Copies of this chain bind each other. A is one copy, B any other.
Amino acid sequence: MEFTAKQIADFIGGRVEGNEQATVHTFAKIEEGKEGAITFLSNPKYTHYIYDTKASIVLINEDVELEKPVFATLIRVPNAYECVAKLMQMYAASLPQKNGIDPLAFVSKTAEIGKDAYIAPFAYVGDGVKIGDGSKIYPHVTIYDGCQIGKNVTIHAGAVIGADGFGFAPNQEGYDKIPQMGIVVIEDNVEIGANTCVDRSTMGQTVIHKGVKLDNLIQVAHNCEIGENTVMSAQAGMAGSTKIGSWCMVGGQAGFAGHIHVADKTMIGAQCGVISNTKGNGENLIGSPAMDPKDFFKAKALYRRLPDMYKEISALRKELEELKKK
């Protein structure tokens, strides 16, 4: 499929500078632009690329002033980044979508699969599982018995939904397994990354509320709950029964102790260790154990100066002793 600069400008409400008939059929980063590609300039750091780019069309903010003529046709818009995202969404939606249950998938006879859902080769869908309309289950996903997946959910390759929670009771010779009899409920519009694990609850449900986005290799333990539209980066992990509020952002490799509550709109830094309930909505946390970022960076800066502080304390002691003698 090809589009002209004019067609694109009309679609996104932009203004063409240059050849209205310039055509594109693909997307590129500005530094890798080539003929037939559309790109965008949003970050001022990259402005110098626009004079050399081979891209046929560049989306650019209205207020950017250029110092030299450029080869590419420009489309002026209020927000180039938003426009390119919008174009990419339109383009992606126009591509043929995979659909239906692949003959190489395993789907239990007692599972229910919604309309226009896609179940890829080697996906495993256990007994009694429900998968809503339009959801996409990629290869090597395992959905254990009884779990419920909403509509327009995407689960990437290798993710495991509903494996047993990690529950054992010590006895004299070792550990007894505590059966994990609950399920996992994943609500609508959730995206779950590759090789991420969401464990079933001991009783009741582990719940991922609607709109949540989980990156790759994340651990969500039994009985956890993640609120609407919370976003979590790769390799983060939650211990059992912890509840995270809605609209939170969690950095990569962050960890949460068990049985704690994180308030709505909390921002958690990468590698953060959250060991107790957070104080309230909108808090920022960083470090392990988690602290306010201002305190964290102030203390961290002094941390590097600990040897100086130590020397100064010793000097003060020595000088004070001398003073006392007098």
Contact = CB atoms under 8 A, between A and B. Distances in A.
Contacts of A291: 304
Given A175-B231, A217-B217, 11 more contacts: A106-B139, A124-B140, A124-B157, A166-B213, A195-B197, A199-B216, A239-B270, A289-B300, A295-B304, A309-B309, A319-B324
A174 B306 CA distance: 40
Contact of A189 (B92, B158, B174, B217): B174
Given A142-B157, A160-B194, A319-B324, A178 B85 contact: yes
A92 B178 CA distance: 9
Given A166-B233, A291-B304, A174 B228 contact: yes
A270 B257 contact: yes
Select the residue from A142, A164, A270, A300 with max chain B CB neighbours within 10 A.
A142
Give the copy number. 3
A217 B140 CA distance: 16
Contact of A138 (B142, B154, B228, B235): B142
Nearest to A210: B174
Interface string A245-260: 0000000110101000
Contacts of A309: 302, 309-310, 313
Contacts of A324: 319, 323
The 7 tightest CB contacts between A and B, nearest first, are A92-B179, A142-B157, A174-B211, A160-B194, A219-B234, A124-B139, A163-B194
A157 B160 contact: yes
Nearest to A31: B204
9 contacts: A92-B181, A154-B164, A156-B164, A194-B199, A217-B217, A239-B270, A299-B306, A302-B307, A302-B309
Nearest to A152: B177
A283 B144 CA distance: 38
